[in-house]
Chains A and B, each alone.
Chain A
Amino acid sequence: MSTIVLVLLEVLLVIGLSRLVGLVFRWLRQPLVIGEIVAGILLGPSFFGLIAPDLANVLFPPETVPFLNVLSQVGLIFFMFLIGLELNPKYLQGQLEIAVLTSHVSIVVPFSLGSLLALLLYPLVSSGDVSFTAFALFLGSAMSITAFPVLARIITENNLQNSRLGTLALTCAAVDDVTAWCLLAGAIAVTRTNSVLGAIPTFVEAIVYIAIMVTWGRSFLQRLAKSYDRTGRLTQMTLALVYMAVVASALITELIGIHLIFGAFLLGAVMPKNAGLTREIAEKTEDFVLIFLLPVFFAYSGLRTEIGLLDRPILWGLCLAVLAVAISGKYVGTYVAGRVCGLPHRDASALGWLMNTRGLTELIVLNIGLSLGVISPLLFTMLVIMALVTTFMTSPLLEWTYSKQLIRQDTVDGTLSEPVEPILATEEANTPETAYRILVPVANPDTQQGLLQLAVTIARSQQPTAVYPLSLIQGLEDYFYESTPVEADRLIAERLAQLEMTTQTLILPEFQSLMRPIVRVANDVARETTQIALLNQANLILMGWHRPAFSSNRLGGRVGQILSMAQTDVAVFVERPGTLSIQTLLVPYAGSVHDDLALELALRILINHETVSLTVLQVVSRRTGMSELSDESRQIIAQMPPGVNERMMLNPLELADSDPVTQVIEASKQVDLAIVGASRAWGIERQTLGQYTDTLALECHSSVLITHRYSPVNSHLGNLMTVLKPNQPGTHL
């Protein structure tokens, strides 16, 4: 097999596996990047080479490794350019003084501890080709890294970017990032010349180049931004010039004697942060770099990581020492600095865990160290383990120290509210505890207008109610530009405006005050929806059906997940096109708890809308007789005032005549909305694998609202019953 075919096969395998393992880590609520790094390690001698050495030799023969190296280096150059591009001065606005102090102490402490650890490690895991100074400098730098990109993504996906702690962590990490890259550049220069004095010309040249880039380079790039503003688009010629500049800058820093990556990073950092230009360059560059080239870098790193080298207890002991120094150095440095700056214990502790995120940045540093020969394969493996552990532990330790919910409540401006919905702060305060609340997940406000109208129809009442249209911005993947805090904020504001505009055009002005839009970033939509429902004490989640990608089941995919996970009642609306307004309702009743919910919701609409009528189809079995209404339903109906009772008809549904589902489908011809419990009687039931059947939803002639009760305690009529005058008992039933 020719080398190029082999390399392409390797790339195929690498991309596939990194996506797969990335998804597993996503499911574990970990950054995708950890999964991708682990995928790389799995492909290397630590796993694949161990279980199938012959196959590993066939698939990853040594002659292909240089090609993977070239691909990974190209990917790294453009990735560093993207990191520089997203280093926005806006991040330096959050409590800058505390951040500068904290980040510098959080570098100094692990750096010092790393240098001391070098005294132990140098005679054991280094060789005579490396001077102690270079070794100590490199180890200290590796210990001081905080991965700004990974940290920024962890903060964004947890919606912490506007919280006090989130902005402080971002500022610290941004300062840390710049300082750590400078430190690393110094370490590389010293390693290459093997002495501090020998590296001085390199330092001088690097400083001169940085000064040129910050002055002339920046001024030239600002002209590029102006040209972009005039034309409003990025031409291929302009992009070609930018890419050429990236490569040229990388080459210059390599020639100076630091490393390729610094030139690319520097160019990205000095690019004017013109929102449109930066976004367009990032979006055009990142797809190929992050999906194709970066996994190759992870695979290349994985091929060099040999966990099998740690085959003696003493080596695992050394690995633990590395881990302990890395974690404690970063944590203690950050914590003490935070406390000195007046941060409360919990904030300082949470910041300490956040700053421990090392992720991909550490991996870049380690690969440079291994390539230069300053760290041995054994130490490389230990440090890769440290990078993985410190990144993996961030989210759970942060949650343990300071729950994300509490962090979100502590916003920069001091208001107590959800960060993404600051405009609601005062309205939320006006919503009493007893209010009836409906959460309406809206995937696309333009196509789900009927859903919002139905929510208002159900909610509308003289009693306090609130409707929460929920829009989740999903699929923000690690490292993509749109998942940077600044960009995520822009997307949230855009989506909020869209949601508000839709509700303003759809909903009558008198009911506008019911609306409480929520916009969030979420990776697991189902889980986030159910959590928001819980936090907002929603009585009902009302959602539209959503056809899953690989089946036509209306209650499959995310709808099915929410039905299974939600800790409140759920209703799924299947809208029949052409339904203008809801005037006639149908509730087939077979006695299940889900049917009770259907009946309650129908009665709620009936009470609040004087023109609406309701037909209840009550199942009658010739053997067992008519299915009994539950005690609660009977009591509720008994309390209905005559005006409501008159608009309600109770019809028997004979089981023996034909299939009850067919009879309901037939009856649905006469109504605008059929409200159906998710029970077996109506062909809607949860099957072994958690899927719901959806026969009725598919064939009904009217729109259908499928109801799924979580708890019989939850009442949808509670606050209405207090104002209703009791009816004479037993009038109709």
Chain B
Amino acid sequence: MNHFSPKSLLFYGTMIGGVVILFRGVTGYGEQNLKVPPNLSGQYISETPLPGCGENTRFALSIQQSGIYLYGALQFMEASSETAAIASVPEQPDLTLRGTLEHPSASNIALVGTIKLPATCQPGANHPANSHPVLVKIQGTVLKPETANKTEKLKEKLPAKFTGKIALGSVNPSEFTASQDLSKVKQESSH
């Protein structure tokens, strides 16, 4: 087959045209009709202590998101002051929490899994510290910063807030608020 014969040119033209039409059709449909969840990945550091875990103990909730599938890790650390200056947060958390976004466009998160509590945490009489892993349930909403009248660059500088409830084992859930650690966001994007 000669590449420049009319038959050949017609074939290639049809093939390329077909792919372009198909691609345009698919992307047109996808852009208009397919809803994807907002990006919720990041590390959220609690602003208040957890009941039973000591006044200086904070937790960091790391969320790794792949679409509607959420993977999380809960780590505890000591905060030296009210402003939660973090002593050390392990950066390669073991993602033991699992969750699925039931509605792609929503920011409501539900994560369930088991973790090992630090020695300072004794959430209930039935759960002595450092014993078996305890079941954790986290439910909450990620609130992105208000975007009205703010430029994109400014928005990036504002941390998202995670507000919700956390239940350790059979203890009643307690409410918490956590702020997104923007240094992690910057690191991730630079990688």
Interface residues of chain A, those whose CB is within 8 Å of chain B, are 49, 53, 56-57, 60-63, 65-66, 69, 97-98, 100-101, 104-105, 108, 111-112, 115-116, 118-119, 121-133, 135-137, 140, 306, 308-309, 311-312, 315, 341, 371, 373, 376-379
Known: A62-B92, A112-B22, A376-B66. A132 touches B31 (CB 8 A): yes
Task: List 19 extra interface pairs beyond A98-B1, A115-B26, A128-B38, CB under 8 A.
Answer: A49-B92, A57-B90, A63-B91, A100-B3, A112-B19, A112-B22, A122-B67, A123-B35, A123-B104, A125-B67, A126-B67, A132-B27, A132-B30, A133-B31, A309-B95, A312-B69, A376-B66, A377-B64, A379-B66
A464 to B103, CA, bound (A): 81
Contacts of A124 in B (CB 8 A): 67-69
Q: Which of B6-40 contact A (CB under 8 A)?
A: 11-12, 15-16, 19, 22-23, 26-27, 29-31, 34-40
Out of B12, B65, B91, which one reaches A376, CB within 8 Å? B65
Out of B67, B94, B104, which one reaches A378, CB within 8 Å? B67
Contacts of B27 in A (CB 8 A): 115, 132-133, 136
Contacts of B26 in A (CB 8 A): 115-116, 118-119, 136
For B90, give the chain A residue with the smallest CB separation: A57
Interface check B137, CB cutoff 8 A = no
Contact B34 A123 (CB under 8 A): yes
CB distance from A216 to the nearest CB of B (A): 28
Contact B69 A101 (CB under 8 A): no
Contact sample, A vs B, 9 pairs, CB 8 Å cutoff: A56-B92, A101-B1, A122-B36, A127-B41, A133-B31, A306-B95, A312-B69, A378-B66, A378-B69
Known: A57-B90, A311-B98. A97 touches B2 (CB 8 A): yes
Contact A126 B36 (CB under 8 A): yes
For A107, give the chain B residue with the smallest CB separation: B19
Known: A69-B191, A126-B36, A311-B98. A119 touches B68 (CB 8 A): no
Interface check B71, CB cutoff 8 A = yes
Contacts of B36 in A (CB 8 A): 122-123, 126-128, 130
Q: Which of A123, A133, A376 has the most CB of B within 10 A?
A: A123
A140 to B31, CA, bound (A): 16
Contacts of A69 in B (CB 8 A): 191
Contact A128 B39 (CB under 8 A): yes
Contact B67 A127 (CB under 8 A): yes
Contacts of B69 in A (CB 8 A): 124-125, 309, 312, 315, 378
Contact A57 B15 (CB under 8 A): no
A133 to B23, CA, bound (A): 9
Contacts of B35 in A (CB 8 A): 123
Out of A111, A122, A377, which one reaches B19, CB within 8 Å? A111
A371 to B189, CA, bound (A): 8
Contact B66 A133 (CB under 8 A): no
B: contact size bracket: 35 or more
Contacts of A121 in B (CB 8 A): 67
Contact B23 A115 (CB under 8 A): yes
Contacts of B92 in A (CB 8 A): 49, 56-57, 60-62
Interface residues of chain B, those whose CB is within 8 Å of chain A, are 1-3, 11-12, 15-16, 19, 22-23, 26-27, 29-31, 34-41, 64-69, 71, 90-92, 94-95, 98, 104, 189, 191
CB distance from B147 to the nearest CB of A (A): 13
CB distance from A334 to the nearest CB of B (A): 14
Q: Which of B3, B40, B66, B191 has the most CB of A within 10 A?
A: B66
A49 to B36, CA, bound (A): 30
Contact B30 A118 (CB under 8 A): yes
CB distance from B153 to the nearest CB of A (A): 16
Out of A105, A127, A137, A315, which one reaches B65, CB within 8 Å? A127
Contact B94 A53 (CB under 8 A): yes
3 tightest A-B CB contacts, nearest first? A378-B66, A132-B30, A376-B66
Contacts of A341 in B (CB 8 A): 1
A98 to B91, CA, bound (A): 53
Contacts of A378 in B (CB 8 A): 66-67, 69
For B29, give the chain A residue with the smallest CB separation: A119
Out of A56, A129, A136, A312, which one reaches B23, CB within 8 Å? A136
Contacts of B23 in A (CB 8 A): 112, 115, 136-137, 140
A706 to B123, CA, bound (A): 79
CB distance from A576 to the nearest CB of B (A): 63
A118 to B142, CA, bound (A): 27
Q: Which of A69, A119, A127, A341 has the most CB of B within 10 A?
A: A127
Contacts of A61 in B (CB 8 A): 91-92
A104 to B15, CA, bound (A): 9
A427 to B157, CA, bound (A): 80
For B12, give the chain A residue with the smallest CB separation: A104
CB distance from B138 to the nearest CB of A (A): 18
Contact A108 B67 (CB under 8 A): no
Contact A129 B31 (CB under 8 A): no
A69 to B71, CA, bound (A): 24
CB distance from A313 to the nearest CB of B (A): 13
A98 to B3, CA, bound (A): 10
A607 to B178, CA, bound (A): 96
Contact B39 A129 (CB under 8 A): yes
Known: A66-B191, A97-B3, A118-B26. A131 touches B68 (CB 8 A): no
For A120, give the chain B residue with the smallest CB separation: B34
A35 to B111, CA, bound (A): 36
A127 to B35, CA, bound (A): 9
CB distance from A184 to the nearest CB of B (A): 15
For A195, give the chain B residue with the smallest CB separation: B31
Contacts of B90 in A (CB 8 A): 57
A126 to B39, CA, bound (A): 9
A317 to B22, CA, bound (A): 25
Q: Which of B67, B91, B94 has the most CB of A within 10 A?
A: B67
Contacts of A116 in B (CB 8 A): 26
A127 to B41, CA, bound (A): 10
